[in-house]
Structure 1
Amino acid sequence: MDALAKAKEFESKADRKLKGWGLFGNKYEDTVELLQQAANHYKVAKSWDKAANCFIRVAEMHVKLDNRYEAATSYVDAAKCYMKNKPQDAINALNTATNIFLEMGKLSIAAKHFKDVGELYEKEEKWQEAMESYEKAADFYQGEEVTSSANQCKLKVAQFASQLELYPKAIEVYETVAKDSMGNNLLKYSVKGYLLSAGLCHLCSADHIAIQNAIERYEDLDPTFSNTREHKFLKDLAEAIEQEDVEKFTDVVKEFDSMTRLDGWKTTMLLRAKNAMKAKIDEDDDLT
């Protein structure tokens, strides 16, 4: 008998058991076991939706039995199956699981699954929802003092905030992570990158005074920053904006990119900054 046929047989047995008579606890416990077997065989058969549905039923049985932890993990198992082709159903199952974990005080586990939800929204390019999910994950990781994971999630929050043009929020997060990393010898080397990201968000405003003030703050925050390529890059870009020199801005970007390849996010921010500068130049021309 193949896996799919076995899965259907176990599910049928579970349905019969559920409809039959028996002691409350035993009836549901036996049904859980059968549905678990059905779900596992559906997984082997790569029948992901049916496997997920069985895991959901297992979770519901555990809720009736007041097995909260087992219920939550079954919702997570369902989500893993839904991830194959039904991301929104996966998100719904994970949200149900996280609610149960939060009620139980399992904050680190809840944080992990908020992060999972963020990743699913990210794949769907739903930046607002992704940002909110990563922010929840960061908060709970921070509360449990899992600093490394909290910072990873915070950086995702900053990334999506900047994509949504919520620059003050993105800047605040990048600067916070930079400050938090200064006291850690393993993380200190990353500070210049966080400060560069914050600086690029500042550039999108085309306000050269605000940019210069930010650079001065970063010099105070990290005494080594002044000697980095990232610092020179920001200073040169700020100077180009102050001089309203689009050609100089472009040359500065090309020079930096030739030594340190710019990723997609930085390229997007720089393009926005360049467009903001052009718009400011046009505005100034209109006033003269």
Structure 2
Amino acid sequence: MGDHIARGEDFEKKAEKKLTGWGIFGNKHEDAAELYEKAANSYKLGKSWEQAGAAYLKLANCYLKVDSRHEAANAYAEAGHAYKKTSSKEAVSCLDQAVNSFLEIGRLNMAARYCKEIAEINESDGNLEQAIAWYEKASDLFQSEEVTTSANQCRQKVAQFAAQLEQYPKSIEIYEDIARHSVSNSLLKYGVKGHLLNAGLCHLCKGDVVSITNALDKYQDLDPTFVGTREYKFLSDLATAVDEQDVAKFTDIVKEFDSMTPLDAMKTTLLLRVKEKLKAQDNDDDDLT
């Protein structure tokens, strides 16, 4: 490891000497760029990630001096990947510069990829508001390039985190919109019932039985096959239990569905919220009697 780091430092010194020296032949920024790239690679081999990230930033600067903007954008991205090993904040800063650089040269697909990567970093760090913002940006860029699958994946992340943050109308709108656009697509139509289930659970979380009843009617119009699914029956039965304020019935319905189709973490969280509201209502009613 030490040998690689020492080699990286040697390459970096040579690069800096190139930049400060006088050259008759060639371009000093191009020559320095080659040396900074070697330095960064050596640091990576030595697992000295901060030095690698710093070298990539110097490499990006050299590329900007010679108007090689695509190479500069790639260097910013590489800096971000190096800093991911040590600092989320530095990684996001570098990847943000990569996004802006790719946008400037019209590489929207590349910009979208790095927006998604920034979103994933924020997701890992638990910064859900920031994750939502970056997933939305990624989705818009993917959609502009007609990369529909990637756009929908990012939108589903937005809907998931919006639900976690109790932003139910936002989550419902996204899930229903994805379902609407998927129902006539032979590759995507099989996911429609899952999107409508997620939207329905968000309706239940709002604590408005009329809202979920109206939603189920709307979902039948959107996809006539939905009424025959386990997901439809599940939502309908849950709505009845909520309307009757029957906590035991609600619990049994959830257990039965989960035994056949295991519930993921998000659905479990939403259902627990609905159950807690039911319990609270039940306790309030007991207090009044």
- Fold in common (TM above 0.5): yes
On the 8 A contact 1:25/1:65 being kept in 2, the answer is no
Q: Output the amino acid matched with 2:51.
A: K
Q: CA deviation at 1:9?
A: 0.8
Aligned-pair RMSD on alpha carbons?
1.6
Take 1:241 and 1:15, find their aligned partners in 2: how far apart are those partners? 70
Q: What displacement does 1:277 show?
A: 2.6
TM-score normalised per structure 2: 0.96
Partner of 1:164: 165
Match of 1:278 in 2: 279
CA contact (8 A) 1:72 1:97 kept: yes
Work out whether residues 63 and 71 of structure 1, in 8 Å CA contact, stay in contact via their aligned partners in 2: yes
Q: 1:287 to 1:220 in 2, by over 3 A?
A: farther
SS, match of residue 27 in structure 2: helix
CA distance in 2: counterparts of 1:244 and 1:151, whole angstroms: 36
Matching of residues 1-288 of structure 1 within 5 Å:
2-22=3-23, 26-282=27-283
Q: Given that residues 208 and 242 in structure 1 are in contact (C-alpha distance below 8 angstroms), is that contact kept between their aligned partners in structure 2?
A: yes
203-212 vs 21-30, which moves further: 21-30
User: How far apart in 1 are the matches of 2:280 and 2:106?
Assistant: 51
Q: 1:246 to 1:30 in 2, by over 3 A?
A: same
Contact 1:205 1:276 in 2 (8 A): no
Give the aligned residue type for 1:249: F
Query: Which runs of no fewer than 5 residues in structure 2 stay unpaired?
Result: none
The SS at the match of 1:2 is helix
Q: TM-score, normalised by structure 1?
A: 0.96
Name the % identity. 54
Residues of 2 paired with 1:14 and 1:164: CA distance? 49
The letter of the residue matching 2:254 is V
**Separation in structure 1 between the aligned mates of residue 202 and residue 84 of structure 2, nearest angstrom:** 33
Deviations 1:73-109 (A, max 9, x none): 0000111111112111111101111011111111111
Task: Report the Cα distance in structure 2 between the residues aligned to 1:32 and 1:255, rounded to whole angstroms.
Answer: 62
The range that moved more, 1-10 or 229-238, is 1-10
Q: How many angstroms does 1:24 deviate by?
A: 10
1:210 corresponds to which letter in structure 2? S
User: Aligned residue pairs: how many?
Assistant: 288
**1:23-62 CA distances to partner (integer Å, 9 max, x unpaired)?**
6971111111110000011111111111111001101111
Distance of 2:218 and 2:24 partners within structure 1: 69
Question: SS at the partner of 2:23?
Answer: coil
The amino acid across from 1:69 in the alignment is H
